[in-house]
């Protein structure tokens, strides 16, 4: 445990300051995002200025062509995700979709030409990235997707629909489609889609319960031509691209609930010191002390699990059951911590003038997105059974 917190202290001094500068900008407009469902475009550029988008990307390729990445690992990525989510769950979610689901997929699976074309603008924040896997009728059963890609001269023609975080604002998207409708998982191919490709459009933004400042919409493909060089990986090998990235996506996104839990404590601790009942601060009452103790231990145990799994991934040991476990644990605890935060504030916690309601609504998303809690339990159970 001491070693884990020593790592946190070291990374804080080297890196965390930049995350907090970007987080401060996100925090200053977090309520506006929740009300208007709009993000400030300059936030992406600001995070790019602090080198937060390309944490796991190389600085340059072997030929010296610069990408702008930091070449660091997933522990650093988790710390950035946590700090940004502490300020705004919405910005944290969009940041995770951009920096991990899109950029990291290109880093891990892209050709040299694809990396040179797309990474510099994505890493600088000039362009926003996204990943589209789910469909209106294909969520957990992603292999049943209906979006198809027909082979034509020079490329493919895509038809179908997808659901996508960052969809309304993304210029570069990783999209999965079926190149063989009869081959189940072996018929899926990953594509790099550009916003201005003819036949590609976005429907109106979804009006969501939480994460309201993170733009989500349906993507529409109507005879959208995608050149052959925009295949990510190989034709029919999209499920490998997908599955090889899912563990790392779950890991990094698990840091989002950490930030939300910390934000709950940031609200509650000053409040219980200032709020008085029966002639003394409510923080002196044992019931309140018990609640904040539960909140604190939920955060610290989840944080330890996430950081430990991140260090394992950085050393090359990517364990599916732990990548599913960290987000299962952190997500469910974040929802409970947010409920406790509301309870500590009493009636004020139920008033939108305070951020606790937003924190609860934002936290709930992590029990659904990136694989539901039920899917995560299935993964963990399956992996444990296979080990016997």
Residues with a catalytic annotation lie at: 249
For residue 198, say whether it is annotated as part of any ligand binding site.
no
For residue 256, say whether it is annotated as part of any ligand binding site.
no
For residue 305, say whether it is annotated as part of any ligand binding site.
no
For residue 85, say whether it is annotated as part of any ligand binding site.
no
For residue 286, say whether it is annotated as part of any ligand binding site.
yes
Tokens of residue 149, six digits: 């890609």
For residue 186, say whether it is annotated as part of any ligand binding site.
yes
Strand partners, 131: 174
Tokens 């992406």 sit on residue: 44
Q: How far apart are CA 105 and CA 119, in angstroms?
A: 11
For residue 229, say whether it is annotated as part of any ligand binding site.
no
For residue 237, say whether it is annotated as part of any ligand binding site.
no
For residue 345, say whether it is annotated as part of any ligand binding site.
yes
3-state secondary structure of 172: strand
Short-list 323, 334, 339, 167, CA closest to 256: 334
Tokens of residue 95, six digits: 């940041």
Residue 15 CA neighbour count, 13 Å, CB half: 23
Report the relative pairing of strands 280-281 and 188-194 from DSSP bridges.
unpaired
For residue 360, say whether it is annotated as part of any ligand binding site.
no
For residue 248, say whether it is annotated as part of any ligand binding site.
yes
Q: Other CB atoms closer than 10 Å to residue 36's CB: what's the count?
A: 11
For residue 250, say whether it is annotated as part of any ligand binding site.
yes
For residue 129, say whether it is annotated as part of any ligand binding site.
no
For residue 136, say whether it is annotated as part of any ligand binding site.
yes
Tokens 């030929």 sit on residue: 63
For residue 316, say whether it is annotated as part of any ligand binding site.
no
DSSP 14: I
For residue 329, say whether it is annotated as part of any ligand binding site.
no
For residue 137, say whether it is annotated as part of any ligand binding site.
yes
The answer to whether 95 touches 215, Cβ cutoff 8 Å, is no
Tokens 């935060």 sit on residue: 341
Strand partners, 219: 162, 202
Q: How far apart are CA 221 and CA 233, in angstroms?
A: 21
Strand partners, 174: 131, 192
DSSP 189-252: EEEEEETT-TTEEEEEEP--SS-TTS-EEEEEEEEEEEEGGGEES-TT-HHHHHHHHHHHHHHH
What HEC string does 15-49 produce? HHHHHHHHHHHHHHCHHHHHHHCCCCCHHHHHHHH
For residue 372, say whether it is annotated as part of any ligand binding site.
yes
For residue 369, say whether it is annotated as part of any ligand binding site.
no
Q: Helix count (H) and strand count (E) of the chain?
A: 14, 10
Tokens of residue 279, six digits: 């002639």
For residue 201, say whether it is annotated as part of any ligand binding site.
no
Could you list the residues known to form a binding site for substrate, using ranges.
140, 185-186, 240, 247-250, 370-371
Could you list the residues known to form a binding site, using ranges.
131-140, 185-186, 240, 247-250, 275, 286, 343-347, 370-374
Could you list the residues known to form a binding site for FAD, using ranges.
131-140, 275, 286, 343-347, 372-374
């Amino acid at each position: 445990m001491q070693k884990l917190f020593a790592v946190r202290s070291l990374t804080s001094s080297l890196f965390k300051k930049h995350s907090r500068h970007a987080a401060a900008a996100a925090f200053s407009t977090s309520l506006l995002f929740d009300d208007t469902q709009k993000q400030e475009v300059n936030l992406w550029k600001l995070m790019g200025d602090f080198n937060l988008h390309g944490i796991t990307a190389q600085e340059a390729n072997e030929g010296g062509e610069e990408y702008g990445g930091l070449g660091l690992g997933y522990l650093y990525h988790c710390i950035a995700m946590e700090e940004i989510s502490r300020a705004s769950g919405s910005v944290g979610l969009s940041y995770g979709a951009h920096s991990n689901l899109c950029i990291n997929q290109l880093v891990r699976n892209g050709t040299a030409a694809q990396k040179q074309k797309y990474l510099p603008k994505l890493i600088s924040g000039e362009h926003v990235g996204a990943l589209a896997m789910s469909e209106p009728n294909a969520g957990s059963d992603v292999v049943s997707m209906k979006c198809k890609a027909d082979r034509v001269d020079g490329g493919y023609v895509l038809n179908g629909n997808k659901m996508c975080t960052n969809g309304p604002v993304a210029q570069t998207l990783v999209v999965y489609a079926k190149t063989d409708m009869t081959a189940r998982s072996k018929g899926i191919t990953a594509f790099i889609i550009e916003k201005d490709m003819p036949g590609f459009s976005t429907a109106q933004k979804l009006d969501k319960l939480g994460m309201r400042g993170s733009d989500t919409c349906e993507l529409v493909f109507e005879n959208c031509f995608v050149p052959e060089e925009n295949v990510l990986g190989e034709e029919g090998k999209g499920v490998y691209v997908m599955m090889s990235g899912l563990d790392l996506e779950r890991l990094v996104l698990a840091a989002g609930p950490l930030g939300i839990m910390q934000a709950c404590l940031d609200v509650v601790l000053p409040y219980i010191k200032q709020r008085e009942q029966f002639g003394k601060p409510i923080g002196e009452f044992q019931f309140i002390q018990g609640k904040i103790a539960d909140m604190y231990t939920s955060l610290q145990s989840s944080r330890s699990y996430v950081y430990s799994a991140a260090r394992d991934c950085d050393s090359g040991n990517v364990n599916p059951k732990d990548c599913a476990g960290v987000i299962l644990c952190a997500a469910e605890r974040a929802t409970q911590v947010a409920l406790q935060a509301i309870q500590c504030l009493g009636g004020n916690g139920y008033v939108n003038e305070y951020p606790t309601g937003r924190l609860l609504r934002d936290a709930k998303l992590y029990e659904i997105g990136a694989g539901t809690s039920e899917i995560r339990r299935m993964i963990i159970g399956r992996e444990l059974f296979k080990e016997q």
